[in-house]
Amino acid sequence: MNKKCKGMIALSLILSLFFTTGFTNFSSKPKNVYRVYLKGKTLGLVKSKKELEDYIDKKEEEIKKKYKVDKVYAPEDLDIVKEITFDDKIKSNQEIYEEIKDISPFTINGYTIKIKGLDSKNAEGKVIKGKTQKIYVLEKSVFTESIEKTAKSFISSEAYDNYANGTQKEIIDTGVIIEKIYLKNKITIKKSKIPVNADIYQNVEDLSKYLLFGTTDSQATYTIQDGDTISDVAFNNKISVEEFLIANPDLQDEKSLLSPGQVVTLGILKPQISVVEEDHIVKDEEQNYTTKTEEDQNQYTNYSVVKQAGEKGLNRVTQKIQKVNGETVSVVGIDSLTEVLKVPVEEVVVKGTKEQPRGWSGGYGDLIVTKGMFGWPATCSTISSPFGWRWGSLHDGTDIAGCGYGSNIFAAESGTVVTVSYKYDNGQYITVKHDNGYYTMYAHLCSGCTYVKQGDRVQRGQAIGGMGQTGFATGVHLHYSIWTGPPYAGGRALNPMSFY
């Protein structure tokens, strides 16, 4: 091939390349479009991000009416990204809308509230990590007012308002002032786009109900029968009187009258927040007297005469009390501020020691347990948590607090020690079987503070241990229970206060 032919072929190739390239550049120009991604997967291209968003807003009129909002937005997991492309395959707004409407929920303006859960323990004593939950509201005020309403379920409205307004009355002789009210949970509130398929609380009533009961579903009800009392109805339905009154705010207190046919709510509380109340209290507290026994060898063993009547003393005590959702979890006495108003008078009892003739009973028969038969088991009398149902569980004893760490715990009646042991919930505890057939249990004793051993014979009023905080206990106190049989082994727990 000569040089001329080679030159012609080369020129032809150059011209061919030129015209081919020129044709492409002029027939297809790059476009500014938007690629739509849902959950990270591309759905295609649209002309305008604003037009797609406006189309979604226009189509979702029902959402606007339901939530009374002016605008509806794209789903949280929808991304619209600007892109430059030669692709001519542009989808319509309607096509994209139809693809996303049944996959991801649209959103509206509101607030996302995160409530950090608190750690707890299960039945085996293992720690369960608290779960953080999200709550959605359209207005921040709905949440703040619900928190206040929930707090007032556990704290009287008058006391709460006086604390909030700084109008609490100063303690002159005795009384209570609230030092702090706060939430134990960590809470964050953030303005955000919230999904319309979530539970969105639009009013204070619904959110308050959820914060108290853990649900907005209707609670169980009960129709009052002739003779019913609030305490009976509450106990028979496994709730506390406090829970009953919270679920029925129209009833003022435990003594409120019930009418046959009246329908009441039986809600079991499952608070979603922990409202902490810290109180400073000054009160007059009776001090139990001790009993001294003198022996008379000239009298028979059935002889017993009070030589000197005992009189209770009276102390003015100052305490710091912490409550969580209305339940007292800690009582700390300030010993330096205790004022003795009246010193107790010791009781002196003379008892005979002379053996009775064989076959003579004295006409007394068998011992019958009556109210007052048991002695008080502690050096103080503040009851931090009574016997009864609370939050679906039976509190099978009476909690006594405020005596101080290591203070003496006394046998409530004479008997034999059957258990000195440790259990994850009771902590260090002692069980005594009494001659009258009852059992008493003393739990949460301080570590190393058990002064008796299994098989020991103890007398009423004998120090058997020291008050502590072992086991599942939120503060120093004694869990004191009375049973008809062995505790947790066929016995039945009774209300200790029915014996006093």
How many residues are present in the chain? 500
- Tell me what the mean pLDDT of segment 324-331 comes to: 91
List phi, psi (to 5°) of 335: -60, -35
Please determine, for residue 12, whether its predicted confidence score (pLDDT) is greater than 50. no
Do the Cβ atoms of 34 and 48 come closer than 8 Å? Answer: yes
> CB count, 10 Å around CB of 247?
23
Question: Where along the chain do its domains lie?
Answer: 30-104, 120-265, 276-365, 369-500
Place of tokens 């000197």: 308
Q: Give the CA-trace dihedral at 234, 239, 241, 245, to 10 degrees.
A: -90
What band does 26 get if pLDDT is binned at 50, 70 and 90?
Answer: very low
pTM comes to: 0.74
Alpha helices in 312-452 (DSSP H): none
pLDDT tens track for 335-359:
899 999 999 998 898 888 877 544 3
Do the Cβ atoms of 90 and 58 come closer than 8 Å? Answer: no
- Give the separation between CA 225 and CA 222, rounded to whole angstroms: 9
Do the Cβ atoms of 395 and 387 come closer than 8 Å? Answer: yes
Q: Check residue 371 and give its pLDDT.
A: 46
pLDDT tens track for 174-199:
999 999 999 999 999 999 999 999 99
Please determine, for residue 457, whether its predicted confidence score (pLDDT) is greater than 90. yes
**Composition of the chain by helix, strand, coil, percent to 5:** 20, 40, 40
Q: Check residue 302 and give its pLDDT.
A: 64
Q: Considering just the CA atoms, what is the radius of gyration of the chain in Å? A: 37
SS3 93: helix
Among 62-66, 67-71, 76-80, 369-373, which is the least confidently predicted range? 369-373
Q: Check residue 185 and give its pLDDT.
A: 95
pLDDT tens track for 380-393:
888 999 998 888 88
pLDDT tens track for 406-419:
899 999 999 999 99
Q: Check residue 28 and give its pLDDT.
A: 62
Q: Check residue 123 and give its pLDDT.
A: 61
Please tell me the class of the 369-500 domain.
mainly beta
**Which CATH number is associated with domain 276-365?**
2.20.230.10
Q: Check residue 369 and give its pLDDT.
A: 35
Please determine, for residue 11, whether its predicted confidence score (pLDDT) is greater than 50. no
Among 119-128, 258-267, 378-387, 392-401, which is the least confidently predicted range? 119-128
Q: Check residue 292 and give its pLDDT.
A: 86
Among 13-17, 127-131, 270-274, which is the least confidently predicted range? 13-17
Tell me the sheet residues that pair with 191. 111
Do the Cβ atoms of 398 and 376 come closer than 8 Å? Answer: no
Q: Check residue 31 and give its pLDDT.
A: 84
Do the Cβ atoms of 430 and 415 come closer than 8 Å? Answer: no
Please determine, for residue 19, whether its predicted confidence score (pLDDT) is greater than 60. no
What band does 372 get if pLDDT is binned at 50, 70 and 90?
Answer: low
pLDDT, mean over the chain: 87
DSSP string, 453-490: -TT-EE-TT-EEEEEB--SS-SSSEEEEEEESSSTTTT
DSSP string, 107-168: EEEEEEEEEPPPPEE-TTS-EEPPPPEEEEESSHHHHHHHHHHHHHHHS-HHHHHHHHHT-P
Percent of the chain predicted with pLDDT > 90: 62
Residue 477, both tokens: 């106190």
**Which CATH number is associated with domain 120-265?**
3.10.350.10
Q: Check residue 17 and give its pLDDT.
A: 37
